[in-house]
Amino acid sequence: MSIAAAVRLRTTRLSLSGDELAMRAGVVVLALVLLVIVGLPLWSLLAKGFEDRDGRFVGLANYLAYFSTPALFDSALNSFHVAAATTLIVVPLAFFFAYALTRTVLPARWLFQGISLIPIFAPSLLPGLALVYLFGNQGFFKGLLGGPIYGFDGILIAQVFYCFPHATLILVTALATADARLYEAADALGASKIRVFFTVTLPGAKYGLISAALVVFTLVITDFGIAKVIGGNFNVLATDVYKQVIGQQNFSMGAVVGMVLLAPAALAFVVDRLVQRKQVALLTARAVPLIPRPKLGRDAFFIAFCTLVSVGILAILGMAAWGSLIKYWPYNLSLTLDNYDFAKVDANGWDSYFNSLEMAAGAALFGTALMFVGAWLNEKTRDFFLMRGIVQLLAFLPMAVPGLVLGLGYIFFFNAPGNPLNFLYATMAILVINAVAHFYTVGHLTATTALKQIDPEFESVSASLKVPVWRTFARVIVPICLPAILDIAIYLFVNAMTTVSSVIFLYAPDTKLASVAALNIEEAGQTAAAAALCIVIVVTSASVKALHVLSDRFLLGQLQAWRRR
Amino acid sequence: MTNSHLEVRNLSKRFGDFIALGDISLDVAEGEFVCFLGPSGCGKTTLLRAIAGLEPQSSGTIRQKGRDVSALPPAKRDFGIVFQSYALFPNLTVTDNVGYGLVSRRRKRAEIVRRVDELLALVGLPDSGPKYPAQLSGGQQQRVALARALATSPGLLLLDEPLSALDARVRLRLRHEIKALQRRLGVTTIMVTHDQEEALTMADRIVVMNAGAIEQVGTPQEIYRRPATAFVADFVGSMNFLSGKLAAADRVRVNGHEFSCPLQDGLAPGTAVRLCIRPEDVRVRDLPSDVVNRVTVEVAELDFVGAFCRATLRIANAADVAVTADFSSNLIRDLGIEPGRQLDVALPPDRLRVFAA
C-alpha cells in the first residue's frame, strides 16, 4: 500500500475535551444570537420589499414602482452625487492632515490630532445646525453664499466636517507605518522629493486612501441627520426611507428604499475587503521606523494647513456652542442657559439625555462582553469550521448595513405579531441590542486583531498544564487585551451616544434618546435647544474619551506594571 | 522495546495533497533524550505537535506508556511543552507562570510555593520569582518556560526549537543545562531542532527527518560516523561527495583513481555511486609507505576558519575532482602547506561511505 493510499484511508478525529465541547456550544449560541440580532432582521427587511401594504407577496412590484417614480430615483442620484463630492474633498484634505501628523515636525501634534477627532463625538446633525446659524435664512454670513445653504451645498459642507476624522484616522494609520530605509534608499539613489512622494509615500498609502474613500462615501450615503437638518428640498436616499416609513407609513416602499440604500454600502464594503486582502504587511519586523526631521518650509506650510483645518472644525463646533447659549437668534445675542432647559421644548426634558446615557452604557457593557467573548470563542475554538464561518459572516455583515436599514429591519422582525421576542419592542433593551448589532463589526475586528497578536501557543501551554480554557481566558487573555477591551467599550459608548440613524425607528416615548430628541426639537424650529442638546452629547462623549485616554496612560500603567520593560 | 515510553506507529499527516508526514513509526524509551533533526519543512515539528495532540495526525497511532492517546485532546495527554517563543504569560510573574499548572490541580498554597521555589532553583533562577517575563533576558525566559513545563512532573517533555531564538553564547550554555537537568530528572524528552550541533551534543538518539520521512535513527556517533543515507551524510556535518562507479564490491573508481572502501553488499558492480569522506578524516601526516588509498593532490585553496584551515585539494591527473580537508594550524606549519603545493594524502577505507548516486 502506497503512503498516499494509507493516508487517504481515514482521518483521526480527536475526542473533545469538556472545554472544547463548551467552546463549541458557545460558538453555536453566538451564531444564534447574531442570527437574531443581525441576520433575521435583515431577512425580514428583504422579504418586506416583496410584499404590499397588507403583507401579500407581490414580487418585484415595489421595486418597479420605485424605479418608475422619478422623485424617488432622483434621490438615489442626489445621494450618489453628494457622496462623490464629499469624498473628493475629504480624502485629499484628510490625507494632507494625516501627512502633517505623521511625516512632518508639527508642534502640539496631540492638539491638532485631538481637534481633528472632535466631529466623531458629535451627532451628525450638529454641523447641520451650525451651518444654519452661519448661513441659514437668518445666518451671519447669509450674504456670502450665492444661494440658500439648504440643499446640496449645506449637506456637502456638513458632511466634510462629519467625515473628516474617519478618513484622517485611516490615513494616519496608513502613513504611520513607513520604513525609513525606503526613504534612505530613494535619497541615496538621488530621487527628487516629488518623485519620492509619488513612488514611495503615495504607493505606501494606496490602500489607506482607497479605504478612506470607501468609508467616506458610505458614511455620506447612509447618514441621515445632516440631510434631515440642512437638506431642504434636496432629497436623498436616507431621508426618503424616513419619509416613506414615518411620513407615509409605507413600510414596503421603505424596505425597498432601504435595500437600495444597502446596495452601495454593501458594494463599498466588499470592495474594501478585497482591497485589504491584497495588502501585505509593508512594515516587516526589521523595518526602521521613519522619524520626521525638521524642515522649515515644509513644516511651516503644514502648520498653516493644520491650523486652518482646525479653525474650521472649531468654528463649526463653536458656532453650535455659541448658538446654544444665545437668547434669541439673531435679534437678542445676550447669553443664557435657558436653551439647556429642555423641558420647555420637549416633554421628555433631560430624560432623553439620561436615556442616551443608559443606552450607551448598556451597549458598552453588554456589547463589549459579547464582542470580546465572541471573538475569543471564534478565534480559539478548534476546527468546527462551518459554524465559525457563519459567525464570521454574521459579524461582518453589520459593517455593510446602514443604521437606518438595520433599524427598519428591527421593526419588521421584532414587531412581527408572531415573534416571541415581540416583548422587546419599544423597550430600552431593543435600543441596546440594536446599537450592539449596528456596531458589531468594528468591535469584533478590534477584539480579533488583539487576540491574533497573542502567542497562539498560550492555549497549547495551558492544555499541556491541564488548565481549563476559561481560567487562561480570565487570568491571561483578558488582562493582556484590556486596552483593546476598553477601546471597544469606548467606541460603543460614543457611537451609541451620537447615533441617530439606527434608532430613529425604534424608540418609544419613554425611551427617546438625546440625538433623536435633538432632531425632533430642531424639526419644531427650536434650533438653539437642539444645538444645546448636541453640545451636551459632544461634551459627554468627548469627556468619556478623554477619561479613556487618561486611564490608558496612568491607570493601566499602574495596574499593568508587567507592560513596562 | 520493553521500556518504551512512546510508540508511534504508521503516523501520517497531510494537508490537502501535501504529505507532511508519511507513515512514521518510532519508539522512544523511558528516560531517553531524543532529537528530531531536519531542515525546515521536513515534518519534525508536525510530528512533535501530533505527539502533543496539538495538530492531530491524519492516520496512525500513538501510544504513551501503553495507553492509546491517538485520539485524545492535548489536555488529556501527559506532557509538558516549551516553545521557541517561550509563550510565557506576560501579565503574570515568574512565580505565577511556573505555578500556573499547579494552581488548577488544587494543591495547597504552601505546597505550590515550595514546588515553585524548588523549580526556580533547579533552573538557576532562585530570585526571579517576583519579576515579570519582560524583565528577563531571553535565556532566563526560556528557563522559566522550562520550569513551568516541568512543574506538573509530566512523563514526557517536548521542546520545540527551544534554543533557536537565543544568541549563540546563551544557546551553548543552555544546551548543557537542559541536558544536565534532563539527566537528573530522568524525564523522557523529545526536542525538535534544525541545528545539527545541538542534536549531536544533547541527544541520546537522533531521528533525522527529511520530506516527511525518517532517514535514520541512531546515536549521535552512529549518525555522524555511519550515515545511512546520502541525505544524512550531507545534512549532518560536512562531507565530500565524489562521483564514481563501483568497480568491485569493495572498490570505487573515481575519474581514473580506484579507492578501496568497505564492502558494499547491496550494490552491483558498475553502479554509479558517490564516495563520501568527512574533511577531518583526510590523512596527511605520517603516511606509511604502503598506505591504502594514497593519492597525490595539489592544494588549490586554503580558507582560514579560525581553529583550523579548510583546504580545497585537487587530485593530480583528475583536476576536476576536488576534496576538502580540515588541516590544523600545526599541521600547516609543520608541513609547510600553502596553495599550489603538491602533497600526498590518504583516504582511510574505514572512514569512507558509499551511496548509490
The 10s digit of each residue's pLDDT in A208-222 is: 888 889 889 988 988
Residues A88 and A210 in one domain: yes
Judging contacts by C-beta atoms under 8 Å, the chain A residues touching residue B54 are: 460, 463
The verdict on residue A54 lying in a domain is: no
Question: What residue of A is the nearest CA neighbor of B82?
Answer: A461
Judging contacts by C-beta atoms under 8 Å, the chain A residues touching residue B51 are: none
Judging contacts by C-beta atoms under 8 Å, the chain B residues touching residue A462 are: 100
d(CA A313, nearest CA chain B) in Å: 41
Q: What percent of chain A has pLDDT over 70?
A: 94
Does A565 sit within 8 Å of B104, measured CB to CB?
A: no
Q: What is the 3-state secondary structure (H, E, C) of A8-76?
A: HHCCCCCCCCHHHHHHHHHHHHHHHHHHHHHHHHHHHHHHHCCECCCCCECCCHHHHHHHCCHHHHHHH
Q: Rounded to the nearest 5°, which phi and psi values hold at A406?
A: -65, -45
∠ CA B54-B58-B61, rounded to 5°: 80
Does A471 sit within 8 Å of B59, measured CB to CB?
A: no
pLDDT digits (tens, 9 = 90+) for A41-56: 999 988 888 888 777 8
Give the total number of structural domains in chain A: 2
Quote the pLDDT of residue A255.
Answer: 86
The verdict on residue A118 lying in a domain is: yes
Quote the pLDDT of residue B190.
Answer: 95
Q: Which domain holds residue A494?
A: 1-48+339-565
Q: How many CB atoms lie within 10 A of CB B13?
A: 25
Does B73 sit within 8 Å of A14, measured CB to CB?
A: yes
The verdict on residue A30 lying in a domain is: yes
Residues A270 and A131 in one domain: yes
Residues A229 and A347 in one domain: no
A517: which 3 cell numbers? 430628541
Q: Is the pLDDT of residue A323 over 90?
A: no
Quote the pLDDT of residue A331.
Answer: 79
Residues A535 and A442 in one domain: yes
Does B76 sit within 8 Å of A17, measured CB to CB?
A: yes
Does B148 sit within 8 Å of A15, measured CB to CB?
A: no
A338: which 3 cell numbers? 435657558
Does A463 sit within 8 Å of B73, measured CB to CB?
A: yes
pLDDT digits (tens, 9 = 90+) for A215-246: 899 889 888 888 888 888 888 888 888 888 88
Quote the pLDDT of residue A124.
Answer: 87
Quote the pLDDT of residue A435.
Answer: 93
Pairing assessment for the beta strands B188-193 and B33-37 based on DSSP bridges: parallel
CA-based end-to-end distance of chain A: 57
Q: Is the pLDDT of residue A372 over 90?
A: yes
What integer is the mean pLDDT of A355-367? 94
Tell me the average pLDDT of chain A: 85
What integer is the mean pLDDT of A357-366? 94
The verdict on residue A520 lying in a domain is: yes
What integer is the mean pLDDT of A154-176? 89
pLDDT digits (tens, 9 = 90+) for A405-427: 899 899 889 888 888 888 888 88
- What lies within 8 Å, CB to CB, of A516 at 6+ separation is A352, A500, A503, A504, A507
Quote the pLDDT of residue B207.
Answer: 95
pLDDT digits (tens, 9 = 90+) for B78-113: 999 999 888 899 989 999 999 998 886 677 888 899
Question: What residue of A is the nearest CA neighbor of B149?
Answer: A465
Quote the pLDDT of residue A84.
Answer: 93
Quote the pLDDT of residue A4.
Answer: 46
Residue of higher predicted confidence among B268 and A437: A437
Does A460 sit within 8 Å of B83, measured CB to CB?
A: yes
Of A9, A464, A476, the CB nearest to B80: A464
A326: which 3 cell numbers? 444665545
Kindly give the residue spans of alpha helices, DSSP state H, lying in A197-281. Answer: 202-204, 206-222, 225-230, 237-242, 251-278
Judging contacts by C-beta atoms under 8 Å, the chain A residues touching residue B85 are: 455, 457
Of A9, A464, A563, the CB nearest to B52: A464
Task: Give residue ranges of A with CB < 8 Å to any B CB.
Answer: 3-4, 6-7, 9-17, 19-20, 455, 457-458, 460-468, 471, 475-476, 479-480, 560-565
Judging contacts by C-beta atoms under 8 Å, the chain B residues touching residue A558 are: none
The verdict on residue A63 lying in a domain is: no
Helix or strand run (H / E) with residue A460 = helix A457-464
Question: What residue of B is the nearest CA neighbor of A461?
Answer: B81
Does B134 sit within 8 Å of A563, measured CB to CB?
A: yes
Three-state DSSP at B42 gives coil
Quote the pLDDT of residue A9.
Answer: 44
A437: which 3 cell numbers? 448589532
Does B85 sit within 8 Å of A457, measured CB to CB?
A: yes
Quote the pLDDT of residue A493.
Answer: 94
Quote the pLDDT of residue A8.
Answer: 45
Quote the pLDDT of residue B199.
Answer: 93
Judging contacts by C-beta atoms under 8 Å, the chain B residues touching residue A476 are: 89, 91-92
User: Which is nearest to B199 in space by CA: B144, B253, B236, B151?
Assistant: B236
- Rounded CA-CA distance B275/B271 in Å is 12
Does A475 sit within 8 Å of B92, measured CB to CB?
A: yes
Quote the pLDDT of residue A284.
Answer: 54
pLDDT digits (tens, 9 = 90+) for A456-468: 889 889 988 988 8
Residue to mutate among B49, B70, B89, B135, with most A CBs inside 10 A, is B89
Residues A360 and A467 in one domain: yes
Does B71 sit within 8 Å of A13, measured CB to CB?
A: yes
Does B22 sit within 8 Å of A3, measured CB to CB?
A: yes
Q: Is the pLDDT of residue A10 over 60?
A: no
Residues A156 and A115 in one domain: yes
Helix or strand run (H / E) with residue A313 = helix A296-324
d(CA A464, nearest CA chain B) in Å: 6
- Rounded CA-CA distance A422/A415 in Å is 6
A109-117 helix and A152-176 helix, angle to the nearest 10 degrees: 140
Are the CB atoms for A407 and A503 separated by under 8 Å?
Answer: yes
Q: Is the pLDDT of residue A553 over 60?
A: yes
Q: Which residues pair with B15 in a beta bridge?
A: B18
Pairing assessment for the beta strands B188-193 and B156-160 based on DSSP bridges: parallel
> Rounded to 5, what percent of chain B is helix, strand, coil?
30, 35, 35
Residue of higher predicted confidence among B141 and A179: B141
**DSSP symbol at B54:** S
Are the CB atoms for B218 and B205 separated by under 8 Å?
Answer: yes
Does A561 sit within 8 Å of B92, measured CB to CB?
A: no
Judging contacts by C-beta atoms under 8 Å, the chain B residues touching residue A450 are: none
Residues A32 and A86 in one domain: no
CATH number at residue A128: 1.10.3720.10
Beta strands in B65-187 (DSSP E): 67-68, 80-83, 156-160
The verdict on residue A488 lying in a domain is: yes
Question: What residue of B is the nearest CA neighbor of A481?
Answer: B91
Q: Does residue B106 come out as left (phi exceeding 0), alpha (psi in the -120 to 50 range) or beta? A: left
d(CA B136, nearest CA chain A) in Å: 9
Residues A376 and A489 in one domain: yes
Residues A11 and A152 in one domain: no
d(CA A273, nearest CA chain B) in Å: 26
∠ CA A484-A488-A493, rounded to 5°: 145
How does residue A3 score in pLDDT terms, banded at 50, 70 and 90? very low
- What lies within 8 Å, CB to CB, of A430 at 6+ separation is A410, A414, A424, A506
Does A20 sit within 8 Å of B58, measured CB to CB?
A: no
The verdict on residue A328 lying in a domain is: no
Judging contacts by C-beta atoms under 8 Å, the chain A residues touching residue B81 are: 460-461, 464
Judging contacts by C-beta atoms under 8 Å, the chain A residues touching residue B24 are: none
Q: Is the pLDDT of residue A286 over 70?
A: no
Residues of chain B with pLDDT under 70: 1-2, 104-105
Pairing assessment for the beta strands B80-83 and B156-160 based on DSSP bridges: parallel
Q: What is the interface size between A and B, counted as CB pairs within 8 Å?
A: 122
Judging contacts by C-beta atoms under 8 Å, the chain B residues touching residue A460 are: 52, 54, 74, 81, 83, 87
How does residue A7 score in pLDDT terms, banded at 50, 70 and 90? very low
Judging contacts by C-beta atoms under 8 Å, the chain A residues touching residue B105 are: 466
How does residue A5 score in pLDDT terms, banded at 50, 70 and 90? very low
Question: What residue of A is the nearest CA neighbor of B13?
Answer: A7
pLDDT digits (tens, 9 = 90+) for A245-285: 888 888 888 888 888 888 888 888 888 778 777 766 555 55
d(CA B305, nearest CA chain A) in Å: 30
Whose cell is 533525522? That residue is B208
Question: What residue of A is the nearest CA neighbor of B84?
Answer: A457
Judging contacts by C-beta atoms under 8 Å, the chain B residues touching residue A465 are: 80, 100-101, 104, 148, 151-152
Judging contacts by C-beta atoms under 8 Å, the chain A residues touching residue B148 are: 461, 465
Residue of higher predicted confidence among A374 and A53: A374
Of A15, A458, A480, the CB nearest to B71: A15
Does B80 sit within 8 Å of A15, measured CB to CB?
A: no
Quote the pLDDT of residue A282.
Answer: 54
CA-based end-to-end distance of chain B: 34
Residues A304 and A446 in one domain: no
In B334-349, which positions are buried (b, 16+ CB within 10 angstroms) versus exposed (e)? Answer: eeebeeeeeeebbbeb
Residues A80 and A191 in one domain: yes
Of A15, A468, A565, the CB nearest to B104: A468
Of A11, A14, A457, the CB nearest to B58: A11
Residues A10 and A96 in one domain: no
Of B74, B89, B105, the CB nearest to A458: B89
Quote the pLDDT of residue A552.
Answer: 81
d(CA A241, nearest CA chain B) in Å: 49
- What lies within 8 Å, CB to CB, of A19 at 6+ separation is A468, A469, A470, B75
The verdict on residue A376 lying in a domain is: yes
